[in-house]
Amino acid sequence: MDPSLLPGFLLRRVAKAAIVVLAIVVCNFFLIHAAPGDPASVIAGQSGAADERFIAQLREQFGLDRPLLVQLWIYVKGVLTLDLGFSHRQQVGVATLILERLPATLLLTGAAFLFAVGLGVTLGALAAGRVGRWADSLITVLALTFYATPIFWVGLMLVLVFSVWLEWLPSFGMMTVGADITGLARVPDVAKHLLLPALTLGLFYMAVYARLTRATMLEVADQDFVKTARAKGVPEGQVVRKHVLRNALLPVITFAGIQAGQLIGGSILVETVFAWPGIGRLAFEALLARDYPVLMGVFFVTSVMVVVFNLVTDLLYAVIDPRVEVSG
Amino acid sequence: MSMTRRGLMAATAAAPVLMCVADARAQGIAPRRGGTLTTILQPEPPVLQIGVNNQGPTLIAAGKIFQGLIKFSPKLEPMPELAESWSLSDDKLTYTFKLRQNVKFHDGRPMTAEDVIFSVTKFHPEVAPRARAIFSRIDKAEAPDAHTVALTLKAPFEPFLLMFDVTACAIVPKHLFDGQDFRTAPAVQRPIGTGPFKFAEWQRGNFIRLERFEDYWKPGQPYLDAIIYRIVPDSQSRRLALETGQVMMTAAGDIEPFDVPAMRARPNLEVWTDGWEYFSPLSWIETNHRVPALADVRVRQAISRAINRDFIAQRLWFGVGKPATNPIASTTRFHDANVKLPGFDPRAAAQLLDAAGLRANAQGVRTTIKHLVLPYGEIWTRLSEYLRQSLRQVGINLELESTDAGSWARRIGAWEYETSINFVYQFGDPTLGVERTYVSSNIQKVTFTNTGGYSNPRVDALFATAREAQTAEERRAAFSEVQKILVEEVPQIWLMEMAFPTIHDKKVQNPVQLGTGVHASYDDVFLTA
């Protein structure tokens, strides 16, 4: 890759991405407002008592009494100045709400991602190297099992074994609350809470990576340049690492790029089952409460992340495979 | 549970004030100071300022931060809280409250008559519809001295005192709200009350922590150092949290009714179903009288007789709550035990449908009615499925529609439904919590009004009589008659007098003492070692 091409490439990609994100913002706005009910009717429904003045007051306070296009214009203007708005329901700025919850989700999905890619690629490579033998069969069966098992069931079983029977790990939450654990002592505490949800979220993807790596490695291993490498006497370990695995990684990276985007939203279920205070639950609860600004804020942040992950994936291609060139 | 709370109540009914020292101390356990109560709050409240938000979870947690002038026993007898005593003038117009002398807000400022008058006449009427309706009856609010409040009504209003529980009228600090928009004032984010616990920390989606207020007006109390409410969105995870001891207590809808038998079987846990008498939620099949079939009283009677309420109470709710017998729950004032819905009888139901002219077609279907499932958890889906089965037996095809909470509230409010399920708090008195569903003056496009559109001038007149009458006896007569008419006309098809299980580790003492149960201030709750 020619480094001098990079700034121009990045600039073009960012400009494109900005347009995409803006289009997403506008689409989201209309989609969300098309859902029946509004925050005022939800609050009235939850309060157990209401009158027309109460609902009118709430609509006015939330700015819902204005025409939809005016509301859209106010929102887009806000987003352009990086102001994500205000949750009137919770009386807190949307950016604050999202920033409070984003680290928890990034920790969970990051851990699940590393676990899935690391173990998946390793197992896939191991299986490919022992094709047809018992290790290969074992790994294939394991991968297929996790691939086919619903994620919530995996979560429940993990909780049953590790929290209820063995009592090794907590079944919910992100940290021990009220035990005055501060500073570095937090790290093992959070790690203990992280283990089960990250495993639950990661196992499915781990299976996908294992199968993908195994399949592509077997395919690459048959190609001429691998035979050449072997013929000229390159040690087998080096052939596998440098020639086979490296070339087999491209599809894995493509898939990882897609998965990284999905992980942010895909963690809603795991966050709910494990009471993990992340952004997925924030979005889901905002949807139920019709808390429009929060929902749109989460969509905005996640769409920006998907765009960023795609960009990183494209750059990674070029790093792994020098034949791939960056271009707008 | 060897002795039910209700049994204990009967034994001490003659001395209502002694009731707050009931269970634990009656068993000879001395209160122990210290420890943190861990429990669950679900769904997570948007804010913890009572008034600005009045959802169930808000009231439970903020009921520890704020207090009312009085509180209510399970028999709905008023007991002193921030008011030491109170009296009613002979013309039944002026209520005089004597306030405690040494009450402080969490910011150190003393609580005085000014704060009470502000809360009653300004704060709650501005933000809360229920307070607006009742407190608009106040003609004058005066403070003869810093610790006396005199509220004079325009006309006598017998259930007035019921509005002074913390869940209806929490006393808020005037100095933090006066002159501001009450909904957006900074104090909404950091609530300041007079309660035994002050707001300490809230990590959204994770937990809320309340801490002991050292200057609380009861010396030596509260006993607990802190209360932590964990936010756990999944009902099975909540059950696990309780079973594995990660939390000590659950309340309200935390544990699904079908999980309650398993909790009862655990030796370290105790299950209460009382502590909801002040609210007495009553569930019913919400019927829209604008649907021609449902406007026919015989069809509503038929549906009512086609349902086995005992089955619902025992097999769906596992004994948490009991079958409804009429529109006023048995724990609400003026319930007439002699007025009862006719029992389960599918054959009588079929005859009523025949009489209404609804004949079965070749498939055995007389009519099809749409039904909006209440989106508040799996138990409600199971209920609607049971209703579909039972009504199919008498030839009514109930077509279930799923929805989410936002759509449900909008569709009920806009009258866009045929039938649904609803449950509504009665707030201790039919005038406060029952009348609104049946009087024609309250037919509004808003949830929890008379959305069904039932209208009967005689019912309107009786509710009006009961509202304005000066004495409880006159009111009782009017309510008895209204119960007879409503049971005959079944404008809504009542199902259950609901209760919610409070389940706790046996080391938690006194969690359910009042008619408001877990909404109480918890200044007398403690943990045994």
On whether the CB atoms of residues B58 and B50 are closer than 8 A, the answer is yes
Q: Which chain A residues are within 8 Å of B188, Cβ to Cβ?
A: 91
pLDDT band at B1, cuts 50/70/90?
Answer: very low
Calculate mean pLDDT across residues B66-81.
Answer: 97
Pick the more confident residue, A319 or A110. A110
* Helix or strand (DSSP H, E) at A206: helix A186-221
Calculate mean pLDDT across residues A102-111.
Answer: 91
Region for B70 from its dihedrals, namely left if φ exceeds 0, alpha if ψ lies in -120 to 50, beta otherwise: beta
What pLDDT is stored for residue B468 in this prediction?
Answer: 93
The chain-wide mean pLDDT, for chain B, equals 92
What pLDDT is stored for residue A282 in this prediction?
Answer: 92
* Helix or strand (DSSP H, E) at A237: helix A236-238
pLDDT at A41 over 50: yes
Q: Which chain B residues are within 8 Å of A273, Cβ to Cβ?
A: 234, 236-237
Calculate mean pLDDT across residues A79-99.
Answer: 89
Q: How far is CA B304 from CA A263, B264, B341, B346, in A?
A: 49, 31, 8, 9
What pLDDT is stored for residue B90 in this prediction?
Answer: 94
What pLDDT is stored for residue A266 in this prediction?
Answer: 65
Which residue of B43, B407, B446 is in closest CB contact with A52? Answer: B446
pLDDT band at A8, cuts 50/70/90?
Answer: confident
Calculate mean pLDDT across residues A209-223.
Answer: 89
Among A149-158, B114-123, B357-366, B383-392, whose mean pLDDT is lowest?
Answer: A149-158
Contact B46 A36 (CB under 8 A): no
Q: Nearest-CA neighbor of B95 among B160, B163, B165, B145? A: B160
pLDDT band at B89, cuts 50/70/90?
Answer: very high
Q: Nearest-CA neighbor of B332 among B280, B384, B284, B297? A: B280
Contact A45 B408 (CB under 8 A): yes
Please report, rounded to a whole number, the percentage of residues in chain A having pLDDT higher than 70.
96
Among A301-315, B193-207, B427-441, whose mean pLDDT is lowest?
Answer: A301-315
Please report, rounded to a whole number, the percentage of residues in chain B having pLDDT higher than 70.
95
Contact A92 B189 (CB under 8 A): yes
Alpha carbons B425 and B55: distance in angstroms, whole number: 12
Q: Which chain A residues are within 8 Å of B243, Cβ to Cβ?
A: 164
Calculate mean pLDDT across residues A88-109.
Answer: 90
User: Residue A73 contacts by C-beta under 8 Å, 6 or more apart in sequence?
Assistant: none
Q: Nearest-CA neighbor of B168 among B128, B213, B223, B218? A: B128
pLDDT band at B13, cuts 50/70/90?
Answer: very low
Chain B nearest-CA distance from A260, in A, is 23
pLDDT band at B132, cuts 50/70/90?
Answer: very high
Alpha carbons B127 and B476: distance in angstroms, whole number: 32
Range among A221-230, B128-137, B485-494 with highest mean pLDDT value = B485-494
Chain B nearest-CA distance from A211, in A, is 32
pLDDT at B81 over 70: yes
Among A15-29, A92-106, B25-39, whose mean pLDDT is lowest?
Answer: B25-39
Contact B203 A277 (CB under 8 A): yes
Alpha carbons A163 and A170: distance in angstroms, whole number: 6
Alpha carbons A164 and B159: distance in angstroms, whole number: 49
Q: Nearest-CA neighbor of B231 among B38, B500, B507, B509? A: B38
Please report, rounded to a whole number, the percentage of residues in chain B having pLDDT higher than 90.
88
Calculate mean pLDDT across residues A173-183.
Answer: 78
On whether the CB atoms of residues B168 and B433 are closer than 8 A, the answer is no
Which residue of B204, B237, B445 is in closest CB contact with A101? Answer: B204
Alpha carbons B267 and B245: distance in angstroms, whole number: 13
Name the one residue in this structure whose structure tokens are 């420890």.
B35
Closest chain B residue to A57, measured at CA = B127
Chain A nearest-CA distance from B356, in A, is 34
Angle at CA of residue A171, ends A169 and A174, nearest 5°: 90
Residues constituting chain B: 529
Closest chain A residue to B53, measured at CA = A47
Closest chain A residue to B443, measured at CA = A51
Q: Nearest-CA neighbor of B464 among B487, B430, B488? A: B430
Alpha carbons A226 and A239: distance in angstroms, whole number: 7
pLDDT at B11 over 60: no
Alpha carbons B499 and B319: distance in angstroms, whole number: 9
Pick the more confident residue, B186 or A230. B186
pLDDT band at A61, cuts 50/70/90?
Answer: confident
Q: What is the per-residue pLDDT across B318-331, written as a single tens digit (0 to 9) for each?
A: 999 999 999 999 99
Q: Nearest-CA neighbor of B286 among B48, B451, B460, B89? A: B451
Which residues are paired to B368 by β-bridges?
A: B397
* Helix or strand (DSSP H, E) at A122: helix A94-129
Among A5-14, A274-283, B15-24, B116-125, whose mean pLDDT is lowest?
Answer: B15-24
Chain B nearest-CA distance from A5, in A, is 45
Which residue of B55, B209, B411 is in closest CB contact with A46? Answer: B55
Chain B nearest-CA distance from A311, in A, is 31
Contact A289 B46 (CB under 8 A): yes
Contact A163 B55 (CB under 8 A): no
On whether the CB atoms of residues A61 and A55 are closer than 8 A, the answer is no
pLDDT at B233 over 50: yes
Which residue of A41, A52, A171 is in closest CB contact with B237? Answer: A171
Which of B446, B449, B450, B516 is the mutation pick for testing A, counting most A CBs within 10 A? B446
- Supply the DSSP string of A19-62, one letter for each residue: HHHHHHHHHHHHHHHHSSS-HHHHHHHHHS---HHHHHHHHHHH
User: Residue B232 contacts by C-beta under 8 Å, 6 or more apart in sequence?
Assistant: A172, A173, A275, B40, B42, B238, B241, B254
On whether the CB atoms of residues B61 and B48 are closer than 8 A, the answer is yes
Contact A277 B244 (CB under 8 A): no
Chain A nearest-CA distance from B346, in A, is 33
Contact B410 A163 (CB under 8 A): no
Q: Crossing angle of helices A186-221/A94-129, nearest 10°?
A: 40
Among A209-223, B141-155, B165-179, whose mean pLDDT is lowest?
Answer: A209-223
SS3 B462: helix
Residues of A4-27 as b/e, b for ≥16 C-beta within 10 angstroms?
eeeeebeeebeeebeeebeebbee
Q: What is the per-residue pLDDT across B337-388, written as a single tens digit (0 to 9) for each?
A: 999 999 999 999 999 999 999 999 999 999 999 999 999 888 999 999 999 9
Chain B nearest-CA distance from A166, in A, is 11
Chain A nearest-CA distance from B234, in A, is 6
Calculate mean pLDDT across residues B40-56.
Answer: 92
Residues constituting chain A: 328
Closest chain B residue to A270, measured at CA = B234
Range among A86-90, A236-240, A241-245, B157-161 with highest mean pLDDT value = B157-161
What pLDDT is stored for residue A2 in this prediction?
Answer: 63
Closest chain A residue to B375, measured at CA = A288
Alpha carbons B234 and A273: distance in angstroms, whole number: 6
Q: Nearest-CA neighbor of B524 among B169, B24, B69? A: B24
Contact B447 A289 (CB under 8 A): no
The chain-wide mean pLDDT, for chain A, equals 86
What pLDDT is stored for residue A326 in this prediction?
Answer: 61
Contact B188 A100 (CB under 8 A): no
Pick the more confident residue, B87 or A287. B87
What pLDDT is stored for residue A60 in this prediction?
Answer: 86
Q: What is the per-residue pLDDT across B470-511, written as a single tens digit (0 to 9) for each?
A: 999 999 999 999 999 999 999 999 999 999 999 999 999 999
Q: Which chain A residues are within 8 Å of B451, Cβ to Cβ?
A: none
Contact A44 B447 (CB under 8 A): yes
Q: Crossing angle of helices A94-129/A246-266, nearest 10°?
A: 150
> In a 10 Å sphere around its CB, with 0-12 CB exposed, 13-18 middle and 19+ buried, how is residue A231 labelled?
exposed
pLDDT at B27 over 70: no
Rg (CA), chain B: 23
Q: What is the per-residue pLDDT across B238-264, written as a single tens digit (0 to 9) for each?
A: 999 999 899 999 999 999 999 999 999
What pLDDT is stored for residue A7 in this prediction?
Answer: 81
Calculate mean pLDDT across residues A41-62.
Answer: 81
Please report, rounded to a whole number, the percentage of residues in chain A having pLDDT higher than 90.
20
Contact A178 B446 (CB under 8 A): no
Q: What is the per-residue pLDDT across B409-423, written as a single tens digit (0 to 9) for each?
A: 889 999 999 999 999
Q: Nearest-CA neighbor of B138 among B113, B155, B119, B159? A: B155
Q: Which domains does chain A have, with CATH numbers?
A: 13-83 (no CATH), 100-285 (1.10.3720.10)
pLDDT band at B2, cuts 50/70/90?
Answer: very low
Q: What is the DSSP letter of B440?
A: G
